[in-house]
Structures are given as structure tokens and as C-alpha cells.
Amino acid sequence: MGALVAMEAAKHWAVAGLVLMGAAAQLPVHADLLKQAAETPEAAAEMILKWGISSAHPQAAEIRGSLRMHMQPMDLFNDLVACNSYHGTAAKAVQKPVLVLAGEDDKLVKFSESMALAEGFAHARFRSFPGAGHMLMLEKPVETAQETRNFMDNLKG
């Protein structure tokens, strides 16, 4: 959802560039997850953590165990409905440099859709992370920070 917000904001405000992680132009949400978020948000949050961290990551269980989502009961459901309903074309409107980062094992956003998103921008670079899922900053913190820093340094000229 953060990437959708960032793309929409970039259409209206001056930005030097965008870094999008685990992103796609459309974010359909699995019907089971929507139902779970409406009925038992805590279970839905656990489902997202399970799907969001690659099972190939050597510390997947530890990462999931250390995270807890704190929110009002319907916040997650509302966020997921917003993602599921989004049909904007923000990518086509963004003319600034974009870095798209994607985990090859992302179960929340298809890897191929992240690649397609990058291809939809006029000036984009795509970087993939094997053994990572949707939560790149937790699964590959050093690599994610380095890619972001390099991108930002290049924006400065």
C-alpha cells in the first residue's frame, strides 16, 4: 500500500525520485485474507506475517515472532480493501527516476508484477532479492539500505 501512496503523491508533489519495495501497479488481495481481516484482524495480521517473510530466509520464524501489528480492529481490513480497489495509473504519470525492489519469494505481490511495474516507468531500475519475500527491510536490511542509498546518491548527481 505504501508504494501506491508514494506513486499517487509523486503525481502531485515535486519529488526527486521514488524507491518502491514489494510493489505492483495493482494490488489485488486474496479473498481469504479480506474475509479474515474483517472477521479476525489478529489472525489476518498473522497471515500477512506468514506470507510476507520468505520461508527460505534463515531467520523467518524469528522475524515473524518479533513482529506484532498494532492497529485498530478495522484498520487492516480498510487498508486491504483500499489496495484491492486501487485501479490507478500512477506509474505512467511518474516521470522521475524510480527504483523498484522486489523479493523473489514475495507471496503478497507477485515478483513478475513488480518487474512489470518497473517496466511501466519512463526511468526505472529493478533490483531483485533471492531468498526474500515482501518485507525486504526486515529480510535483507543491509542490501535494501545499500540499494536505496546508491539510488539516492545518484539522484544528487
pLDDT category, 142, cuts 50, 70, 90? very high
As a CATH number, domain 2-156 is 3.40.50.1820
Query: pTM, whole model, 2 decimals?
Result: 0.86
pLDDT of 95-122, one tens digit each? 889 999 999 999 989 999 999 999 988 8
Cα–Cα distance between 32 and 150 in angstroms, integer?
Answer: 38
pLDDT category, 22, cuts 50, 70, 90? very high
Q: Residue 143: what residue type?
A: E
Mean per-residue pLDDT, 31-52: 86
Cα–Cα distance between 64 and 49 in angstroms, integer?
Answer: 6
Task: Specify the pLDDT at position 69.
Answer: 57
As a whole-number percent, the residues of the chain with pLDDT over 90 amount to 45
